[in-house]
Chains A and B, each alone.
Chain A
């Protein structure tokens, strides 16, 4: 089996090479980088279609696999949202939309978008593709485990989608899956549906753990020579912190899902109180539904930041590259990411203000929640200060970044409303909440994903996506998303409750009906606009403009591979050596407006580079 491996030569101390570089002005010692601590990684190279493209151990292929599968599930989530809006905007138009189906679609839309789309896309997709490239590794440290991670995700998605075809259909208990309703008769999918949901989540967590261990150890233990933690691009910091959160938060979901499965299948009463149904006492009794809420939200709140932190990191890099300026306050940005991550474990009960809790408890969680606004606001200021007096390229990528800042600030401000107990109680379970979380963790991270796709597509495929189609895509999405979610704030203020199948003859119906129709039409257009991207990708793969090497003149390592797109092993014969951070843009005195991370100090002797 030894021919399967490229038995890399052990790395010799390469200090001699560094010393012989340039040599004008700056002492040669400045170019010295310590020799490698760890021998070069051996990689398993696939040599059949199956080992190269299906059961592949290359992190880049796994990243693309994650990306495609997450996008596929995301499109299902999108179609479900269309069906929901069809019912809300035009009740009775679609005869198959019963109340049961409506609840099932709400549930599946929520769970798919949060877990199977955003989490899988950011961590599985971007994480796998970018981490090894950005830290200068040949691959993830455990390629085989990485492959198993993707295929666990694949099975998890399969189980989830299978619930559409089982007796009773998928669960209709809302994405929060609150017991006792989730497993009681009368809730759609209370038998098979909820069981498959729990199994799918357990599989997802197992698969994610395998991937997450890979991301963490690759970042901690497999960086290239010269790559310190504080020289890593913020993308890596965002994904790293999000992965830490996921490793600590998913256990609560796993335990909750397992206990609920047992309640459902074996008839235990972990979450089931004494229940009177049609005059009869059920077998259940003595359990605590609130316990599930605590477990769920101990997962659920960090989950918000599992989605948001990679988006923060990625958008920082995109803004810096396309504003041709270093990111403002890099260290502050890093600590803000870490701080937000740590704080996110102490705020979960702000999702439970109306569940009934000690007022001091609510006070505590309101305080911690509002404290999160501090590091978050720091990040927003830093993005704006990065743009300030930058040499901005107003291309599609930059448009998505600007769209992100706007939607994120908007969603963040409504979060301050909802973080306060006394303001939250009347707004709870209204469309204001829907507007808030779609803005802040739906649309905002989605804007970053889109920006990231336009930014890194030339790396993955070697071709530029069409700017013209990209601008159409952006403006339709941005204005359309605002048309959807901005009116929802108003709907929430007049008291329209969320998760209602129909408004019937409620007092606010007159002003809500027209608005609901408008929102629905906007939703159809925004959803359809996403297919512009798919068309753009297919068209670009065939006829797109070739991008060549480092098309955005970026500094970070992923653009500096010997071949574009990078091949398995990423770096050819020799791993890169890093001398600086990833943000040396528009440095005074330098020949070009960017200095790559691999440029030794002696080559840019006259310029005022940052000391990192």
Chain B
């Protein structure tokens, strides 16, 4: 944001600049789009939701009297007769992190007003997300097939099933909502809504490529949360 210019306002670097921005009139975050500021605050709130989930999970896992199942066995896959621990999860994580990369590129091409590249990269991100949700559905059905339920679990503590389905389900819902929006945004990009500044349905905001970045923030957040879920569920 170093190239940002505001008439009558002189930016200062470092903490002094932060204090100056904070004590100035009109806006606290200079040049930041309303929607972008909103997304950051929403994500902060959402962080608290996932923190509550994960802390509850730690409490539940820490205080159970029945042994917790061994994640590398439960989440392992038999491939060509070899038991590979955490194979599926590794692929899922790879796909999701890659989709973060394509999203970041989409934002870059968006700001360069490269409509086609931006649209294709959003579409690639959406397909990455869809793949992730698909693999998660496969993992769920595999576990359900093996007898894991929210209320019971043949491998050990029943809370394993409860927390696993609840937390990955809540995260999967986030990914699915993201995928839906990615498809919508891909359409809007290809249709040129962001180039023309076309307004959204019933809203007064003019279309702008900043919306791609806002959706990108959400998408990176969902990925980051997955890293934590991955660490706490699969590696612990």
Contact = CB atoms under 8 A, between A and B. Distances in A.
A227 B159 CA distance: 52
B8 interface: yes
B18 to A, nearest CB: 13
Interface stretch (B21-29, B116-124, B134-142, B186-194): B21-29
Interface in B45-83: 45-46, 48-49, 51-53, 56, 59-60, 63-66
Contact of A247 (B32, B45, B56): B45
A299 to B, nearest CB: 9
Contacts of B163: 270
Interface stretch (A38-46, A187-195, A537-545): A38-46
B28 A224 contact: no
Interface in A225-249: 225-231, 247-248
Contacts of A213: 38, 41-42
B34 interface: yes
B157 interface: yes
A247 B44 contact: yes
A259 B56 contact: yes
Given A144-B202, A286-B158, A268 B25 contact: no
A605 to B, nearest CB: 22
A34 B9 contact: yes
Interface in B112-148: none
A255 B52 CA distance: 7
Contacts of B25: 33-34, 223-228, 231, 578
B34 A141 contact: yes
Contacts of B12: none
A30 interface: no
A371 B9 CA distance: 40
Contacts of B64: 286
B162 A221 contact: no
A460 interface: no
Given A36-B26, A37-B26, A37-B27, A269 B53 contact: no
A229 B22 contact: yes
A1 B151 contact: no
Contacts of B202: 44, 144
Contacts of A231: 25
Interface string A108-143: 000000000000000000000000000000000111
Contacts of B206: 42
Given A209-B45, A222-B34, A229-B22, A288 B59 contact: yes
A206 B193 CA distance: 29
A269 B125 CA distance: 37
B202 to A, nearest CB: 6
Contact of B24 (A142, A228, A287): A228
Contacts of A268: 150-151, 158-159, 161-162, 166
A38 B206 CA distance: 13
B171 interface: no
B108 interface: no
A285 B151 CA distance: 10
A37 B37 contact: no
Nearest to B46: A251
Nearest to A290: B59
Contacts of A262: 150, 162, 166
B27 A220 contact: yes
A267 interface: yes
B52 A295 contact: yes
Contacts of B63: 288
A96 B42 CA distance: 46
A41 B66 CA distance: 59
Given A1-B199, A144-B202, A266-B150, A285 B27 contact: no
Contacts of A285: 158
A286 B204 contact: no
B30 interface: yes
A514 to B, nearest CB: 47
Nearest to A577: B25
A288 B60 contact: yes
Nearest to B30: A37
A574 to B, nearest CB: 15
Contacts of A230: 23
B37 A217 contact: yes
A347 interface: no
A503 interface: no
Contacts of B53: 255
A598 to B, nearest CB: 13
A270 B64 CA distance: 11
Contact of A37 (B9, B51, B158, B159): B9
A268 B167 CA distance: 13
B203 interface: yes
A283 interface: yes
A269 B204 contact: no
B32 A255 contact: no
A291 interface: yes
A41 to B, nearest CB: 7
Contact of B59 (A212, A224, A291): A291
B6 interface: yes
Contact of A224 (B9, B26, B34): B26
A216 interface: yes
A104 to B, nearest CB: 28
Interface string B191-220: 000000001001111100000000000000
B7 interface: yes
A13 interface: yes
Interface string A139-166: 0011110000000000000000000000
A221 B34 contact: yes
A35 interface: yes
A228 B158 contact: no
Contacts of B166: 258-259, 262, 268
A142 B63 CA distance: 44
A157 B32 CA distance: 35
A529 interface: no
Interface string A431-471: 00000000000000000000000000000000000000000
Given A43-B204, A291-B56, A270 B162 contact: yes
Contacts of B26: 34, 36-38, 221, 223-225, 227
Interface string A8-44: 0000010100000000000000000111111001111
Given A37-B27, A258-B166, A142 B34 contact: yes
Contact of B37 (A220, A256, A267): A220
A5 interface: yes
A254 interface: yes
A248 to B, nearest CB: 5
Contacts of B24: 228
Top 4 nearest A-B pairs (CB, nearest first) are A251-B48, A255-B52, A268-B162, A34-B8
Interface of B: 6-9, 22-32, 34-35, 37-38, 41-42, 44-46, 48-49, 51-53, 56, 59-60, 63-66, 150-151, 157-159, 161-163, 166, 170, 199, 202-206
Given A33-B25, A35-B8, A267-B151, 17 more contacts: A15-B8, A38-B26, A43-B204, A141-B38, A142-B34, A142-B203, A213-B38, A217-B38, A221-B37, A223-B27, A229-B23, A248-B48, A258-B170, A262-B166, A268-B162, A286-B157, A291-B59
12 contacts: A141-B38, A212-B45, A213-B38, A217-B37, A226-B25, A229-B22, A229-B28, A230-B23, A252-B52, A255-B53, A270-B60, A298-B52
